[in-house]
């Protein structure tokens, strides 16, 4: 019988309500949710109704101190991820932290120090890298990396609310004090300024988009085709809500683009072209569960034709795969592939991208 890990959840907003709590309920042989925490009493009570028997807290300190918590999912506002993760590690408990794991390289280094000091498992929540179609694509592309002609990473999606509001019932924290909301905004601006030298305006907005949506894409890009040698260029437009970049891989260039629009769609993919194959991974919204990532391969067929193969190895939800991997990482003392050190590389690229935007603004 598998060892059951007792999980506490810090931050019970939409991603916890729609994705993580249902996923953990589907894995009772591996996990038991024993504690929930949110600054909003309305939200934590609603999450508690989904999770009978879980103790409810309004502070992460109280949840961390609960002796019936072995590991903590951190899904509260981004700016507080590092603070909570370090406190969890100091208590000798394991961490699954939603992306981004933190805001700055300085925070990443503090997280790495805490991880080394306390010897616990810390996994960053890049569920797209756990998707079976993506894992299959990585294996397929690995021997072809030297032949890559070019690559593209695109993530242009509709605002989450366009999908969530028509498919899910989410309880919102309308009782959160205005002072707490303002404090989070101020903290994020200060953390962003420490990270890139600018705390507000379009470039800060673009950096926030990188930390949020783009972290999925850049993280997956690095696993699929490796880390780029350098950033060739990066731009932001429309107040930081649209980003483009070019990454230099030596013998090829990867083009990157992302934006959030008002169309209820999800155009998120990575595409790699080689002389004899074009390999592409497409993702759909995670807010409707069990939609598999798809692997598409275009290759020659016959003397003058081409064939396209579209596949997905399983409909098993990527978040479920992520949690299964977390269980193995904890119980088998394995290092997660989405580790603190791995996620730090995204922050390095984001800082370099922001540097191009700053220079363009000064020109």
Q: Could you tell me if 53 and 199 lie in one domain?
A: no
Q: Which of 137, 143, 95, 140 is nearest to 115 (CA)?
A: 95
362 — pLDDT class (breaks 50, 70, 90): confident
Residues 316-332: what's their mean pLDDT? 96
Quick one: pLDDT at residue 352? Answer: 98
Q: Could you tell me if 22 and 38 lie in one domain?
A: yes
Quick one: pLDDT at residue 307? Answer: 97
Q: What is the pTM of this model?
A: 0.95
Q: Could you tell me if 73 and 133 lie in one domain?
A: no
Give yes or no for residue 58 having a pLDDT over 70: yes
Give yes or no for residue 244 having a pLDDT over 80: yes
Q: Could you tell me if 106 and 202 lie in one domain?
A: no
CATH of the domain at 268: 3.30.360.10
Q: What is the pLDDT of residues 247-295, one digit of tens each?
A: 999 999 999 999 999 999 999 999 999 999 999 999 999 999 999 999 9
Report H helices in the chain. 14-15, 21-25, 41-50, 60-65, 81-90, 105-118, 132-141, 160-167, 178-196, 202-209, 215-225, 318-331, 340-362
Q: Could you tell me if 304 and 240 lie in one domain?
A: yes
Give yes or no for residue 1 having a pLDDT over 70: no
Q: Could you tell me if 92 and 177 lie in one domain?
A: no
Residues 313-333: what's their mean pLDDT? 95
Q: Could you tell me if 194 and 252 lie in one domain?
A: yes
Q: Residue 245: which domain range?
A: 129-316+344-362
What is the number of domains present in the chain? 2
C-alpha to C-alpha distance for 256 and 272, rounded to whole angstroms:
12
2 — pLDDT class (breaks 50, 70, 90): confident
Give yes or no for residue 363 having a pLDDT over 80: no
Q: Could you tell me if 66 and 178 lie in one domain?
A: no
Q: Could you tell me if 182 and 294 lie in one domain?
A: yes
Q: Could you tell me if 172 and 292 lie in one domain?
A: yes
What average pLDDT does the chain have?
96
Residues 175-190: what's their mean pLDDT? 96
Q: Could you tell me if 186 and 117 lie in one domain?
A: no
Helix (H) or strand (E) segment spanning residue 151: strand 150-158
Quick one: pLDDT at residue 338? Answer: 98
Q: Could you tell me if 307 and 235 lie in one domain?
A: yes
Residues 212-231: what's their mean pLDDT? 97
CATH of the domain at 88: 3.40.50.720
Q: What is the pLDDT of residues 114-149, one digit of tens each?
A: 999 999 999 999 999 999 999 999 999 999 999 999
Percent helix / strand / coil, the chain, rounded to 5: 45, 25, 30
């Amino acid at each position: 019988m598998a060892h059951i890990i007792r999980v506490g959840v810090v931050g019970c907003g939409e991603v916890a309500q729609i994705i993580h709590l249902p996923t953990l309920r589907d894995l009772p042989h591996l996990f038991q949710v024993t504690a929930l925490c949110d600054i909003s009493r309305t939200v934590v009570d609603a999450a508690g109704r989904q999770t009978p028997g879980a103790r409810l807290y309004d502070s992460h300190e109280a949840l961390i101190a609960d002796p019936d918590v072995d590991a903590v999912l951190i899904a509260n506002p981004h700016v507080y991820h590092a603070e909570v993760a370090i406190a969890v590690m100091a208590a000798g408990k394991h961490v699954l932290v939603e992306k981004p794991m933190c805001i700055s390289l300085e925070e990443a280094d503090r997280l790495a120090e805490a991880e080394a000091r306390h010897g616990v498992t810390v996994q960053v929540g890049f569920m797209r890298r756990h998707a079976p179609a993506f894992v299959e694509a990585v294996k397929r592309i690995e021997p072809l990396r030297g032949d890559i002609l070019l690559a593209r990473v695109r993530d242009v999606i509709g605002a989450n609310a366009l999908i969530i509001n028509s498919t899910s019932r989410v309880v919102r924290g309308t009782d959160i004090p205005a002072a707490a909301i303002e404090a989070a905004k101020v903290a994020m601006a200060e953390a962003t300024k420490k990270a890139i030298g600018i705390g507000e305006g379009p470039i800060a907005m673009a950096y926030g988009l990188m930390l949020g949506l783009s972290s999925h894409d850049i993280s997956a890009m690095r696993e699929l085709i490796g880390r780029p040698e350098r950033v060739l260029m990066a731009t932001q437009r429309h107040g930081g809500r649209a980003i483009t970049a070019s990454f230099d891989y030596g013998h090829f260039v990867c083009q990157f683009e992302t934006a959030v629009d008002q169309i209820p769609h999800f155009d998120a993919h990575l595409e790699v072209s080689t002389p004899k194959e074009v390999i592409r991974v497409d993702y759909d919204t995670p807010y409707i569960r069990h939609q598999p990532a798809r692997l598409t391969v275009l290759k020659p067929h016959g003397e003058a034709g081409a064939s396209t193969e579209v596949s997905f190895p399983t409909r098993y939800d990527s978040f479920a795969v992520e949690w299964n991997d977390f269980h193995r990482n904890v119980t088998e003392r394995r290092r997660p592939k989405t580790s603190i050190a791995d996620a730090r590389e995204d922050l390095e690229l984001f800082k370099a991208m922001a540097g191009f935007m700053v220079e363009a603004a000064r020109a």
